[in-house]
Amino acid sequence: MQNKKIFYINLIYYICLLSVALIFVLGYFDIIDNSYLSTFLIQGVVMLAMPIILYSLFVTKNVKQTFNHFGFKKISFTVLLCSIGLGFVLFFINNYVADIFYTILAIFGYDNSVNVALSVNTNIGIEFLLTAIVPGICEEVLHRGMFMRGSSKQGYTRYGLLFSSILFGLMHLNIQQFFYAMILGALMGVVVIVADSIYPAMIIHFMNNALSIYFSYGLDYGWPFTELKATIESAIFSTNLILCIAIISGLIFLLLILYKMLVRAIARDKHKKMALKLAKDLKMDDMSYIEMQAKLDEIGTVLEKTSPQNVLSIKNTAKPLKFVDKIFLYSSIVLGALITICSFIWGIL
């Protein structure tokens, strides 16, 4: 076994995925009612409590260190605003991508009405809580926290980013959500790596789900901009392919601008933090010239690493993993893929 901790990370994820699948099956057969209980079990127990407890037991041996590994690190107000903006733009991009994928699936006779996840029929306030706030926290803890950042802490950053995105798509357990969830997961993963914090991903995830709820209820309640959005989407997907491409391209361009702003804001924060720390720790009065030069070289190296050009570092630094290290990763992918394929078959029958 090359890396025992990676083995445990993959095992923990497999246990969580298996648990979610079991709860879905129990819900399908009405053994567990599709209500608060199922939401609490999936989100609160499986995606929040289990990763924290099991990771603390098998990987860090320390709950405080687990939270550090998962990326619970504060962010600046500028990063907060950029994350909100990214969440807003990504919602619309995701919305259009989902519509495009559903259109493709519909060609094969797929009907998404038969693949409805466990949900809670309740008032709007509770819906925001259970569909936007809770998943924004719990699902990110499992995917961007435990799996992606946990893998990165072991020297497998690319590995964590790639497979956390795939698994995030598969965890939704239906073919339609897989595509856009995987894309969204990859984008949020990159942001977490850049920010060195899980909070931006939680904000983006929350924004995506919250806006979905807002526009779902908006037409019935006459909320601002909901009718305009529905009119534009109807025109895009029914009459004008060029307009559709133009709007999506514009959104992607805006996304890139916001992402660049986010990277620069994070780099500036890191640069300032490291500069202040070095200035505080700097004690050069009693040093020789050679010692001073070595210290200055160290400062230059540290500050260079936090420059906007180098703040994004997505690479593996550890040795390649062996098959046994990834056996539960492959098991998770196979299980998730089988359920996702079954959801497609179920949708065309």
Predicted confidence at residue 37, as pLDDT, reads 86
Q: Pick from 83, 26, 100: which is nearest to 198 by CA?
A: 83
Total number of domains in the chain: 1
CA 171 to chain centroid, in Å, comes to 12
Say which DSSP state 146 is in. Answer: I
Q: How far apart are CA 140 and CA 42, in angstroms?
A: 13
Asked if the structure places residue 294 within a domain, the reply is no
Asked if the structure places residue 275 within a domain, the reply is no
CA distances 128 to 125, 134, 136, 199, 211, Å, are 5, 9, 11, 18, 10
Q: Do the beta carbons of residue 186 and residue 194 sit within 8 Å? A: no
Map residue 162 onto helix, strand or coil.
Answer: helix
Asked if the structure places residue 310 within a domain, the reply is no
Predicted confidence at residue 281, as pLDDT, reads 66
SS3 annotation, 240-306: CHHHHHHHHHHHHHHHHHHHHHHHHHHHHHHHHHHHHHHHHHCCCCCCCHHHHHHHHHHHHHHHHHC
Asked if the structure places residue 314 within a domain, the reply is no
Say which DSSP state 309 is in. Answer: T
Asked if the structure places residue 304 within a domain, the reply is no
| Token pair listed for 294 | 């070595």
Asked if the structure places residue 228 within a domain, the reply is yes
- Which phi and psi angles does 250 have, rounded to 5°? -65, -40
Phi-psi category of residue 320: left, alpha or beta, with phi > 0 → left and psi -120 to 50 → alpha: beta
Q: How far apart are CA 328 and CA 322, in angstroms?
A: 12
Map residue 225 onto helix, strand or coil.
Answer: coil
Map residue 156 onto helix, strand or coil.
Answer: strand
Residue 190: domain span:
4-270+320-348
Map residue 222 onto helix, strand or coil.
Answer: coil
Per-residue pLDDT in tens (0 to 9) along the chain, 349 residues: 678 999 999 999 999 999 999 998 888 788 887 678 888 999 999 999 999 999 999 999 999 999 999 999 999 888 899 899 999 988 988 887 787 788 788 888 887 665 544 444 557 888 889 899 999 999 999 999 999 999 999 999 999 999 999 999 999 988 888 988 999 999 999 999 988 899 999 999 999 999 999 988 888 888 888 887 777 777 666 666 677 777 778 888 888 898 888 877 877 777 677 666 666 666 655 666 677 667 767 767 666 655 555 555 677 778 899 999 999 999 999 999 999 998 888 878 7
Predicted confidence at residue 292, as pLDDT, reads 66
Predicted confidence at residue 13, as pLDDT, reads 98
Predicted confidence at residue 290, as pLDDT, reads 72
Asked if the structure places residue 51 within a domain, the reply is yes
- 150: exposed, middle or buried (Cβ count in 10 Å: 0-12, 13-18, 19+): buried
Asked if the structure places residue 39 within a domain, the reply is yes
Q: Do the beta carbons of residue 69 and residue 55 sit within 8 Å? A: yes
SS3 annotation, 46-87: HHHHHHHHHHHHHHHCCHHHHHHHHCCCCCCHHHHHHHHHHH
Q: Pick from 35, 39, 198, 20: which is nearest to 134 by CA?
A: 39
Map residue 316 onto helix, strand or coil.
Answer: strand
Q: How far apart are CA 253 and CA 8, in angstroms?
A: 40
